Amino acid sequence: MKTIAIVARPRKDEAAELAQQIIEAFPDREFLVQEHLGAQIGRAFVSDEELAARAELVLVLGGDGTLIYAARMQRGREIPILGINLGSLGFMTEVPVADAMGAITQVLQGKARVESRMKLSCRVYREGVLLLDDEVLNDVVINKSALARIANHEVSLDGVYMATYQSDGLIIATPTGSTAYSLSAGGPIVHPAVDCVVVTPICPHALTQRPIVVPGDQLVRVHMTGEVSDVYLTTDGQSGLALKRGDSVEVEKSSHRVLIIRNERLDYFNILRQKLRWGERGNDEAPAPAHSRGSRTRKT
């Protein structure tokens, strides 16, 4: 990996300082940086298109949102991404700043563990005309504005009618995106190694309309029926389109993947416990041992 791209969170001094340290630490590599980062560190920059076309490795300096942006930049290329987190631990940006140099060295020595993540392809049709063709790592979201009425989302799977969700919106998520907006709307956590799609209604009118996990190799189609006003589709929270009555949204597994370099010191469940306190009790008391029901011990 001779050519390395750095994608950094804009206007963050810590990111610029770390980028400069990385460039100086590996003088035998060619580094490509974005315009905003080049301006911060006084270095020549390239366009996002050139960065994605030439890079053999992408270093992300920021959080999960920055990593999603880097994944979208690749436009179908499968370039390994190493996420270095500048804040709290991320679901995908797993490497703390203190371990950045060691992690990069391991990658360049071919010792890193790479995980392949599923992406979704999203297309929007209006009267048979293709309006949007995009790919997402996290989710496709159909949502209404604050004052809009509940919309009808007629959902089918490989042409078989599933249900009409009367709700504020609908989230169609990858396993990676299952811990994002979908989780906040009551969707399940899905391990990223499982190729499937999570369909989660947002504030459904009927409580019987629950999230569902469907096979990743089948086409999910959402047809907008009934009155539609102020309803928008967003892909990975970074681009959007206003929807109208009669529009069809088609979502299916993409032929492209995202390659994420894992932190060897962490596993997926470790991240869940740190980020969500998943699997823990709601207080700081440990359950009493079976032989001592009458007493309680505190965690240390």
C-alpha–C-alpha distance, residues 193 and 34, integer Å: 31
**200 or 149, greater pLDDT:** 200
* Beta-carbon-side half-sphere exposure of residue 139 (alpha carbons within 13 Å): 27
Q: State the average pLDDT for the chain.
A: 90
- 66 pLDDT more than 60: yes
Least confident of 44-53, 81-90, 123-132, 156-165: 81-90
- The catalytic residues are 64
C-alpha–C-alpha distance, residues 213 and 34, integer Å: 38
Q: Are 108 and 115 in contact (CB under 8 A)?
A: no
Structure tokens at 104: 């990069």
C-alpha–C-alpha distance, residues 85 and 81, integer Å: 12
Domain ranges of the chain: 3-111, 120-255
Cα-based distances in Å from 132 to 31, 124, 128, 144: 33, 5, 12, 18
Fold of 120-255: Tumour Suppressor Smad4 (2.60.200)
- 286 pLDDT more than 90: no
pTM: 0.88
Phi, then psi, of 81 in degrees rounded to 5: -120, 130
87-104 mean pLDDT: 91
Confidence of residue 293 (pLDDT cuts 50, 70, 90): very low
Q: What is the pLDDT of residues 207-235, one digit of tens each?
A: 889 999 999 999 999 999 977 788 999 99
**151 or 117, greater pLDDT:** 117
Q: Are 58 and 91 in contact (CB under 8 A)?
A: no
CATH code, residues 3-111:
3.40.50.10330
- 298 pLDDT more than 60: no
Long-range contacts (CB closer than 8 Å, 24 or more residues apart) made by 285-292: none
Helix axes 13-25, 100-108, angle to 10 degrees: 40
Centre a 10 Å sphere on the Cβ of residue 264 and count the other Cβ atoms it contains.
Answer: 14
Q: What is the pLDDT of residues 15-46, one digit of tens each?
A: 999 999 999 999 999 999 999 999 999 999 99
What is the pLDDT at residue 291? 41
Instruction: For residue 259, list its beta bridge partners.
Output: 116
